[in-house]
Amino acid sequence: HLGVPLIDVDAMGRAFPEFHMTTFYLDGINSSPFVLVDSKTNICLIQAQDAYETEKKSRALCIEMGGLALFAAYPITPSVAKASGILGTISRAQEIGETLEKARNEKADIVQVLTKLLKGFVLFRGRANKIDLRVTGGFTCGLACFDGVDTDKGKTFNVSFQNEYLLAQCGDLLLCSTPDLIILLDEDTGVPILAERLRYGSRVVALGVPADKKLCTPQGLEVTGPQYFNYDVNFTPVEELVAANRRE
């Protein structure tokens, strides 16, 4: 609407709970100067040695700002963004929205449509029976437990989260882990449910979607993998987990 060029790239390809979990950070690109603005237009400028230090300092400031702030960072050229970032994410988000709107209008199976579009996998269908949620250090952390329904009846599932869903399990069986994306969809509407909006009795369909390959390198897993969040599991791509679990 403004007639300003929009760069079709970002550095996560999904959402992560911490600022430095980006391909820019992995490539050694400094995020400073970092500008943080709250609802009262108070402005803070952070000049840090890297994005990890920026994360720690900006989160403390954001808590002081009431937990909500806008920021601008990574003053880089388009060529650097193209070389280091994950391409096509803005147009991808638009495509997802348009596809969902069309599916609703045509009364199509939204879960099936979205799974196909994202090249993802249905991990389970369940009803929330317990949600342990707490706010710690500026993060919404916890565990959501589900009783399986439909074809998953008789099974139990757990999803761990820190702002974003990071680990999905059926008992001790790993279904999906960060950096692969775990999405919980409302079974009726197909709308994604954020962790803080989960409620007892919520019926969900859990999807697992492969992450960009840049995040799945050894270097990428150091800052986005399950062990970074102190989960005692090794990362295995969701497509491999699904194939292995089907064989068992």
Amino acid at 50: D
The predicted model gives 111-118 an average pLDDT of 94
Tokens 């500008």, residue located: 35
The string of pLDDT tens digits covering residues 9-32 is: 999 999 999 999 999 999 999 999
Q: Residue 220: which H helix or E strand, with range?
A: helix 218-224
Please determine, for residue 189, whether its predicted confidence score (pLDDT) is greater than 90. Answer: no
Please determine, for residue 247, whether its predicted confidence score (pLDDT) is greater than 70. Answer: no
Please determine, for residue 145, whether its predicted confidence score (pLDDT) is greater than 70. Answer: yes
Which phi and psi (to 5°) does residue 214 adopt? -65, -30
The predicted model gives 176-196 an average pLDDT of 94
Chain mean pLDDT for the chain: 95
The string of pLDDT tens digits covering residues 96-106 is: 999 999 999 99
- CATH numeric code, 110-247: 2.40.390.10
Confidence of residue 248 (pLDDT cuts 50, 70, 90): low
β pairing state of 181-186 and 156-162:
unpaired
* Confidence (pLDDT) at 9: 96
* Confidence (pLDDT) at 188: 86
Residue 138 structure tokens: 């500026």
**In this structure, how many other beta carbons lie within 10 angstroms of the beta carbon of residue 15?**
11
- The domains of the chain are located at 9-87, 110-247
The string of pLDDT tens digits covering residues 203-244 is: 999 999 999 999 999 999 999 999 999 999 999 999 999 999
Closest CA to 83 of 192, 9, 151, 157: 9
* Confidence (pLDDT) at 5: 85
Tokens 């869903």, residue located: 165
Alpha-carbon dihedral 199, 205, 206, 207, rounded to 10 degrees = -140
Q: What is the DSSP string of 94-144?
A: HHHHHHHHHHHHTT--HHHHHHHHHT-EEEEEEEEEEEEEEEETTEEEEEE
Tell me how far apart the alpha carbons of residues 143 and 229 are, in angstroms, rounded to a whole number.
13
Please determine, for residue 83, whether its predicted confidence score (pLDDT) is greater than 70. Answer: yes
First to last CA, the chain: 52
